[in-house]
């Protein structure tokens, strides 16, 4: 294994969160009297933080005041229901366990809100991640490098010895902006055809392939 630290995106990379995200989105849309969305639509809303998910989900021309109200409804609901149907992709827990056994440092860096990121990381992968970081006030979201640098400082790891692993263009740009190598996975929310448009260091179709890099 080539790296000392492995920094993972959450949604679409280690966890299939799309059903809970879709249910929470549609609960919120219904409360606001807006049209509902399919899972496939919500997959493309995700990646740039919850506020951007909301902006993409509400009807065009929605006021800033109503966007804020919609966001607040979503967050209150999702905090309670973020782990109703969410689970790890096949092979992810085994991958993380093997990396941990090999004394690798593990982190999650996600544009999902900080509270559910920490809750999901601990509830689903207890003891496996050294640090889990989500969107929080005062810290720039991905694809800016801020959250990755927080993780690297906590892990006490130089960027040349770390890799960022994700499933979207946002993750590719995050790695690039952070000066990290990048692994893009095909099982997430964008799919193989989409991610292969980007010049990642590696592409993988199964979690265990990461152990061979």
Mapping DSSP onto H, E and C, the string for the chain reads CCCCEEEECCECCCEECHHHHHHHHHHHHHHHCCCCCCHHHHHHHCCCCHHHHHHHHCCCCCCHHHHHHHHHHHHHHHHHHCCCCCEECCCHHHHHHHHHHCCCEEEEEEEEEHHHHHHHHHHHCCCCCCEEEEECCCCCCCCCCHHHHHHHHHHCCCHHHEEEEECCHHHHHHHHHHCCEEEEECCCCCCHHHHCCCCCCEEECCHHHHHHC
Please tell me the pTM assigned to this model.
Answer: 0.92
Q: Give the confidence band of 108 by pLDDT, cuts at 50, 70, 90.
A: very high
Residue 1 clears pLDDT 90, i.e. is over it: no
Q: What is the per-residue pLDDT for 109?
A: 98
pLDDT tens figures, 5-49: 999 999 999 999 999 999 999 999 999 999 999 999 999 999 888
Q: What is the per-residue pLDDT for 15?
A: 98
Query: Mean pLDDT of all residues in the chain?
Result: 96
What CA–CA distance (Å, rounded) separates 22 from 93?
A: 24
pLDDT tens figures, 72-105: 999 999 999 999 999 999 999 999 999 999 999 9
Q: What is the per-residue pLDDT for 99?
A: 98
Q: What is the per-residue pLDDT for 33?
A: 98
CB within 8 Å of 150: residues ≥ 6 apart: 133, 139
**Bridge partners of residue 87, in order along the sequence:** 16
- Is residue 124 within 8 A of residue 24, CB to CB? The reply is no
């Amino acid at each position: 294994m080539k790296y000392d630290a492995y920094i993972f995106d959450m949604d679409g990379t280690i966890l299939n969160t799309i059903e809970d995200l879709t249910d929470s989105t549609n609960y919120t849309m219904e409360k606001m009297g807006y049209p509902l969305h399919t899972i496939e639509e919500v997959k493309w809303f995700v990646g740039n933080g919850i506020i951007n998910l909301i902006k993409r989900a509400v009807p065009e021309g929605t006021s800033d005041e109503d966007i804020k109200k919609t966001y607040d409804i979503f967050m209150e609901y999702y905090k309670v229901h973020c782990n109703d149907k969410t689970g790890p992709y096949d092979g992810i827990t085994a991958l993380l366990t093997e990396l941990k056994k090999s004394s690798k440092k593990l982190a999650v860096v996600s544009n999902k809100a900080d509270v559910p990121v920490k809750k999901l990381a601990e509830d689903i992968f207890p003891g496996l991640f050294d640090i889990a970081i989500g969107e929080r006030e005062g810290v720039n979201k991905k694809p800016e490098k801020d959250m990755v640098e927080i993780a690297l400082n906590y892990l006490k790891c130089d960027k040349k010895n770390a890799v960022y692993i994700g499933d979207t263009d946002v993750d590719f740009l995050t790695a690039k902006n952070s000066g990290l190598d990048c692994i893009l996975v095909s099982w997430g929310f964008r799919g193989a055809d989409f991610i292969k448009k980007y010049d990642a260091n590696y592409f993988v179709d199964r979690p265990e392939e990461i152990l061979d890099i």
